[in-house]
Amino acid sequence: MLKDIVSFVKQKDFKLIKELGRGGLGKTVLLFDSEMAEQFVCKKYAPYDDAIKDDYYEYFKNEIKVMYRVNHPNVVRIFNYYLYPEFKTGYILMEFIEGKNISEYLIENPSKIDYVFQQVIEAFQYLESNHILHRDIRNENLLISVDGQAKVIDFGFGKQIYSESDKGKSISLNWWCEVPRDFDTGIYDSKTEIYFVGKLFEAILSEAVNEPFSFPFSYRHILERMVRLAPSERAQSFGEIKGQLIEQSTSFDEMFSFDERKAYKSFADSLISAIASIDEAAKYNNDMTRAVASLEQLYKTNVLEDEIHNTNDLIRIFVSGSFRFYNKPILSTYVLRDIIQILKKSNSEKRDIFLLNIQNRLNRIHRTSAPNADDIPF
């Protein structure tokens, strides 16, 4: 019979390269793994103040829980962790990013600001789509590597959002800029993150006023909507901002061939005609890698048919939440096959444009409120 516990007893040794930093909650060091021939950053939880050791240990564990779900080129990766609950300490082993914080990098490389801004929006749109809040957006937590890749780091105050009640402002930090009006109502959500990302870039742009150059920044009109104090007047999601970046940088007509546009139109027309209404609380799915995989699975289960019969499964690839649909075959199997082939050959920018256009179509569909309890028939 197999044992309930599987124990790994082999000790793993690393060579200490140098200490990278020390703060109130611990320190980070750079380690070298001779077997992998790779450098790693190791973050140790060791607060100066024993009075907060128990409470902040839960934050440390939560950082691990949040980070292990994350896999994006613009977000720091976690490779392993070691917890010692009996001593209220532990370690996180993560990727080493050789570079500078975002302000230092852009002051030295002002021509790169558009590209860095695009990457940061990509990172936070990914976090938003996975219901993760960073909650500590500041200069030192956005690094730019020597090859110009932006990385969001330090999820010590990160939080996974499961419901509206999770959006409460449950932390108090020494904020480096004027706080938004969200805080007046005790709310911290994705729109709050938009504000702080915007304020960060606004501060970087203002730093250049006394410098012998100015930033050639193309997205000032987008930034202006990100930093509005009232959340209702602000850009409403990182997905919306990403869509604006795509629209500004590329023309749909220029990027797609006639046959590709024709295939998109056939697919989009069929998808939209299958939906009667969408609940106003529903969200859109933004993970195109997962969407393409789901479309392939849907095609596989209908490949011997002329039409896709499980319409509900098709809509759920793009809509997360409640909706009403017409339960009859609408989409041709051949149209689905064609769009899958196009998406598999497309780069991430073309996929994003495809998704943006689908979501623009979805925005035109009638939105309904969830029924009251009295409306439930039984």
> Which of 104, 111, 103 lies closest to 214 in space, CA to CA?
111
Which strand ranges, in their side-by-side order, compose the sheet holding 15-23?
A: 15-23, 26-33, 38-45, 89-95, 78-84
Torsion of the alpha carbons at 59, 61, 64 and 67, rounded to the nearest 10: -30
Q: What is the pLDDT of residue 40?
A: 94
Exposed / middle / buried, residue 284 (Cβ in 10 Å: 0-12, 13-18, 19+): middle
Contacts of 101 (CB under 8 A, 6+ apart): 139, 140, 142, 143, 144
Q: What is the pLDDT of residue 49?
A: 83
d(C-alpha 154, C-alpha 70), whole Å: 12
* Paired tokens of 320: 């997360």
Q: What is the pLDDT of residue 377?
A: 38
CB atoms within 10 A of CB 322: 14
Is residue 156 within 8 A of residue 136, CB to CB? The reply is: yes
d(C-alpha 257, C-alpha 86), whole Å: 62
> Which of 245, 229, 6, 8 lies closest to 124 in space, CA to CA?
245
Is residue 255 within 8 A of residue 353, CB to CB? The reply is: yes
Packing angle between helix 348-362 and helix 258-273, nearest 10 degrees?
Answer: 40
Q: What is the pLDDT along the chain (378 residues), one digit of tens a residue?
A: 556 777 766 678 899 999 998 877 888 999 999 988 899 999 999 888 888 888 889 888 888 888 887 889 999 999 999 899 999 999 999 999 999 999 999 988 888 899 999 999 999 999 999 899 999 999 999 999 998 999 999 888 888 876 555 555 556 667 899 999 999 998 999 999 999 999 999 999 887 655 555 678 889 999 999 999 999 999 999 999 998 887 776 555 667 888 998 999 999 999 999 999 998 878 888 888 899 999 999 999 999 999 998 899 999 999 988 999 998 888 999 999 999 999 999 888 788 888 888 988 898 888 886 554 444 333
Would you put residue 330 in left (φ > 0), alpha (ψ -120 to 50) or beta?
Answer: alpha
Q: What is the pLDDT of residue 214?
A: 63
d(C-alpha 35, C-alpha 96), whole Å: 16
Is residue 24 within 8 A of residue 48, CB to CB? The reply is: yes
d(C-alpha 119, C-alpha 29), whole Å: 26
Q: What is the pLDDT of residue 378?
A: 37
SS3 264: helix
Exposed / middle / buried, residue 253 (Cβ in 10 Å: 0-12, 13-18, 19+): exposed
Domains of the chain and CATH, by start: 15-95 (3.30.200.20), 99-249 (1.10.510.10), 256-368 (no CATH)
d(C-alpha 79, C-alpha 67), whole Å: 10
d(C-alpha 136, C-alpha 155), whole Å: 8
